[in-house]
């Protein structure tokens, strides 16, 4: 049976000064967390940005993080 891991981090989402999504920096944050003790990530989990993001931005973020970081740990899209 596959598990999610022991340490799942609800990661923050990075935004630019104009309020647009910063996918590149969000991927960098995801990599940092997975390289430093997290077994998996909850993307748009509990840090409050989920209701204010468009479905397109959420999908782009989930896709980028899964593609770039999915081999390092579990990626849970909220």
Average pLDDT, consecutive stretches of 10 residues, N- to C-terminus, the chain (78 residues): 82 94 97 96 82 92 97 92
Query: What's the 3-state SS for 28-45?
Result: HHHHHHHHCCCCEEEECC
- In terms of residue numbers, what domain contains 45? 8-77
Domain contains 2: no
d(CA 12, CA 28): 11
Sign of the CA dihedral with 78 first, then 63, 49, and 42 last: positive
Domain contains 24: yes
Domain contains 30: yes
* Biggest CA pair distance of the chain: 44
Please give the order of strands across the beta sheet that includes 74-77.
8-11, 40-43, 74-77
Please state the pTM of the whole predicted model: 0.90
Domain count, the chain: 1
Domain contains 1: no
């Amino acid at each position: 049976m596959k598990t999610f891991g022991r340490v799942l981090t609800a990661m923050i989402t990075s935004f630019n000064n104009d309020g647009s999504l910063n996918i590149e920096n969000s991927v960098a944050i995801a990599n940092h967390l997975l390289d430093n003790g997290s077994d998996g990530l909850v993307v748009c989990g509990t840090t409050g940005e989920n209701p204010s993001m468009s479905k397109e931005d959420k999908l782009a973020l989930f896709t980028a993080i899964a593609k770039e970081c999915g081999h390092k740990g579990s990626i849970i899209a909220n």
